[in-house]
A and B are shown apart, each in its own frame.
Chain A
Amino acid sequence: MRDTFVKTLLVEAKKDSNIILMTGDLGFGVLDEFQRELPGQFINSGVNEQTMMGLAGGYASTGKRVFVYSIGNFPTLRCLEQIRNDVCLMNNPVVVVSVGAGYAYGSQGYTHHALEDIAVLRALPNMDVIVPADPHETVGITQLLTSTKNPSYLRLGKSNEPLIHDKEVSITPGKINEITSGADGTIIFSGSVGVIALEAAKELESQAISVSVASMPFVSRIDLDYLKGSAKKGPIIIVEEHSYRGGVGSAVLETLSMQGITAQVALVASAQTNLSQIGDQDFLRNENGINVFSIVSKFKALLAG
């Protein structure tokens, strides 16, 4: 996903010199081509995320679209107040880009696990939180972000994420992208956990339960029409690689509550039972309850109602 993002950004940045890529000294082997081809639009600020984010706010205030790139917690939690005051309050056109969503850097330990970022950035006024499912969505969303001006947070995986869509998808801000359609309920996911959602749908299919599977990249702009339809149809499971507290599931539940929509909803998200546990992404997802078994059992429990 990160390579797809940088490649797409480079194409757009060649056409528009106002597009700037800023990094806090990360992206070895990933940002090289951009730096080589567009040195005037590339800034390595050094290891100083707070200053970098303030700098990005000021830079963007001069009419530039500044993409600030780093790993997971560094361009998000480390410089939260700079995002709040210098980007969101001033409504500057900065895109915060994190790589390594969830457990993508699993074996590197909890400092590198991004599990609270959606909750924290989603709480900021003016901030548009966006979580692409796969490289195809990443292309469309990156293109979208080069042509818009609002403060945004682009939460990317790392590398080699499976393709969820079989071809490039047209991206409409605020719209859920349905991948398969079913009659008995819906599994909604954000990010590269789509592969687990699809597997769970297959498992349910084998038990004669037919569900829709849909990617929800726009976390700050909820697709109310889709949710209303899903709520009527049956149970809704929301799958994300993030803490239960305040993530995508919470965003959906808040919206349902505020709109007075009754629905059967269950969340599949990280239990964060052992913060110090080391392992690869698949292992840690599974250990923390982000797995096919959780989705299937929660769906069936709701269905049995």
Chain B
Amino acid sequence: MEKIESPFSTAAELALAARHEIIKMTSAAKASHVASALSVVDILSALYAGAADISPKNLNDPTRDIVILSKGHSASALYSVLALQGFFPLEWLADYCKNDAPLGGHVTSKGVPGVELSTGSLGHGLPYGLGIAMSRKKSGVSGRVFVVLSDGECDEGTIWESAMIANHHGLDNLLVIVDRNKIQSLTFTEDTLKLEPFADKWTAFGWETEEIAGHDYQALEKSLATQNSPKCIIADTTKGKGVDFMENSVLWHYKSPSPEDVTKAFEQLSENY
């Protein structure tokens, strides 16, 4: 498979541009989940900058890779990355959450090129991706399936049922990336429902498991490149990454950036990147 040429060929450039879009979108739409989007945007950027074989040009190729964002509340991150990579017009981002606009507050697939599955209810993306991976495996069709989960989402039973099924069927074309930012809806994951020892759980379910720095593009690209069985990458991330007043704060799971917040956040981005 030839290397995909995209407007942004490095994850770092793509992610920085996407961070600006995410902050603008969530502010303009008065929408929640800006910190969740900033947490996952480096993972998505690594995938769409080349780690996954997917581009606006090969969308109709049944052997291309599939990316499913199961944590559908991070829609602004996925939409930004897709728009910046040319899957649909950048102008769509300005209409995020507006009446009759294509882009909704949770990931919507209908009429949005590059989005595989509408998500928003947690625990749906992995079973769905599992189905695609199983069908491809049984039919001898190449192409991998990447499913991005939130850590809080791993409270759902369907995650662990899927983990068992993928291992049982030897699905070496299925790769999970968990955005391990350690915060869920009301408080920290370990104060809500303990996930640790998290990597050991995936390993015990028969998955190849790697724990990596989730904002390190090289580490992401290296880990995404190979797998010999179903693989889980636990990407250690920071909720709100890149904007210090949003980092590691439950408040910014919900709060929408005010115009002043946007100015401050952009200043932070120029300092930090």
Give residues in A with beta carbon < 8 Å to B. Answer: 40, 43, 45-46, 48, 50-64, 81-82, 85-86, 89-90
Determine, out of B52-60, B154-162, B256-264, the stretch whose residues face the partner at the interface.
Answer: B154-162
Give, as a whole number of angstroms, the nearest-CB distance from A151 to chain B.
14
Residues of B contacting A64 with CB < 8 Å? 135
Interchain CB contact under 8 A, A51 and B161: yes
Interchain CB contact under 8 A, B131 and A60: yes
Residues of A contacting B135 with CB < 8 Å? 58-59, 62, 64
Pairs A–B under 8 Å by Cβ, sample size 8: A48-B165, A50-B127, A54-B128, A54-B131, A58-B127, A59-B134, A81-B121, A90-B118
Give, as a whole number of angstroms, the nearest-CB distance from B108 to chain A.
9
Interchain CB contact under 8 A, A40 and B138: yes
Give, as a whole number of angstroms, the nearest-CB distance from B121 to chain A.
6
Interchain CB contact under 8 A, B128 and A57: yes
Interchain CB contact under 8 A, A90 and B109: yes
Residues of B contacting A60 with CB < 8 Å? 131
Closest chain A residue, CB of each to CB of B158: A51
Q: Quick one: which of A50, A55, A63, A89 contacts B130, CB cutoff 8 A?
A: A55
Residues of B contacting A90 with CB < 8 Å? 109, 117-118
Residues of A contacting B132 with CB < 8 Å? 58-59, 61-62
Q: How far is the CA of A53 from the CA of B121 in the complex (A)?
A: 14
Q: How far is the CA of A53 from the CA of B127 in the complex (A)?
A: 8
Residues of A contacting B157 with CB < 8 Å? 50-51
Q: How far is the CA of A241 from the CA of B251 in the complex (A)?
A: 51
Total number of B residues with any Cβ neighbor in A under 8 Å? 29
With contacts A48-B165, A89-B118, A90-B118 taken as known, whether A58 is within 8 angstroms of B158 at the C-beta atoms is: no
Closest chain A residue, CB of each to CB of B72: A85
Q: Number of contacts between A and B (CB, 8 Å)?
A: 87
**Assuming A51-B158, A51-B161, what are 4 further A-B pairs, CB within 8 angstroms?**
A54-B162, A58-B135, A61-B132, A63-B62
With contacts A54-B131, A56-B131, A90-B117 taken as known, whether A46 is within 8 angstroms of B165 at the C-beta atoms is: yes
Residues of B contacting A85 with CB < 8 Å? 118, 121, 124
Closest chain B residue, CB of each to CB of A66: B131
Q: Quick one: which of B136, B158, B162, B165 contacts A62, CB cutoff 8 A?
A: B136
B129 within 8 A of A: yes
Q: How far is the CA of A45 from the CA of B165 in the complex (A)?
A: 7
Interchain CB contact under 8 A, B124 and A82: yes
Q: How far is the CA of A40 from the CA of B134 in the complex (A)?
A: 11
Closest chain B residue, CB of each to CB of A51: B161
Residues of A contacting B116 with CB < 8 Å? 61
Interchain CB contact under 8 A, A55 and B124: no
Q: Quick one: which of B118, B124, B168 contacts A54, CB cutoff 8 A?
A: B124
Q: Quick one: which of A46, A54, A61, A89 contacts B158, CB cutoff 8 A?
A: A54
Residues of A contacting B117 with CB < 8 Å? 58, 86, 90
Q: Quick one: which of B131, B138, B164 contacts A61, CB cutoff 8 A?
A: B131
Give, as a whole number of angstroms, the nearest-CB distance from A279 to chain B.
34
With contacts A55-B165, A62-B136, A90-B109 taken as known, whether A50 is within 8 angstroms of B131 at the C-beta atoms is: no
With contacts A85-B118, A90-B109, A90-B118 taken as known, whether A54 is within 8 angstroms of B136 at the C-beta atoms is: no
Interchain CB contact under 8 A, A50 and B161: yes
Give, as a whole number of angstroms, the nearest-CB distance from B203 to chain A.
20
Interchain CB contact under 8 A, A86 and B109: no
Interchain CB contact under 8 A, B127 and A82: yes
Q: How far is the CA of A58 from the CA of B128 in the complex (A)?
A: 4
Interchain CB contact under 8 A, A43 and B127: no
Chain A CB count within 10 A is highest, among B62, B117, B121, B164, for B117
Closest chain A residue, CB of each to CB of B164: A46
Q: How far is the CA of A90 from the CA of B118 in the complex (A)?
A: 7
List the 4 shortest-distance A-B pairs measured between CB atoms, nearest first: A58-B131, A54-B127, A59-B131, A58-B128
Question: Within B119-149, which residues are at the interface with A (CB < 8 Å)?
Answer: 121, 123-124, 126-136, 138-139, 141
Give, as a whole number of angstroms, the nearest-CB distance from A93 to chain B.
12
Give, as a whole number of angstroms, the nearest-CB distance from B142 to chain A.
13
Interchain CB contact under 8 A, B130 and A51: yes
Residues of B contacting A53 with CB < 8 Å? 127
Q: How far is the CA of A53 from the CA of B91 in the complex (A)?
A: 36
Chain A CB count within 10 A is highest, among B127, B129, B141, B165, for B127
Interchain CB contact under 8 A, B128 and A55: yes
Interchain CB contact under 8 A, B162 and A51: yes
Interchain CB contact under 8 A, B127 and A55: yes
Interchain CB contact under 8 A, B118 and A55: no
Closest chain A residue, CB of each to CB of B125: A54
Residues of A contacting B168 with CB < 8 Å? 46
Interchain CB contact under 8 A, B134 and A43: yes
Q: Quick one: which of A48, A81, A86 contacts B128, CB cutoff 8 A?
A: A86
Residues of B contacting A43 with CB < 8 Å? 134
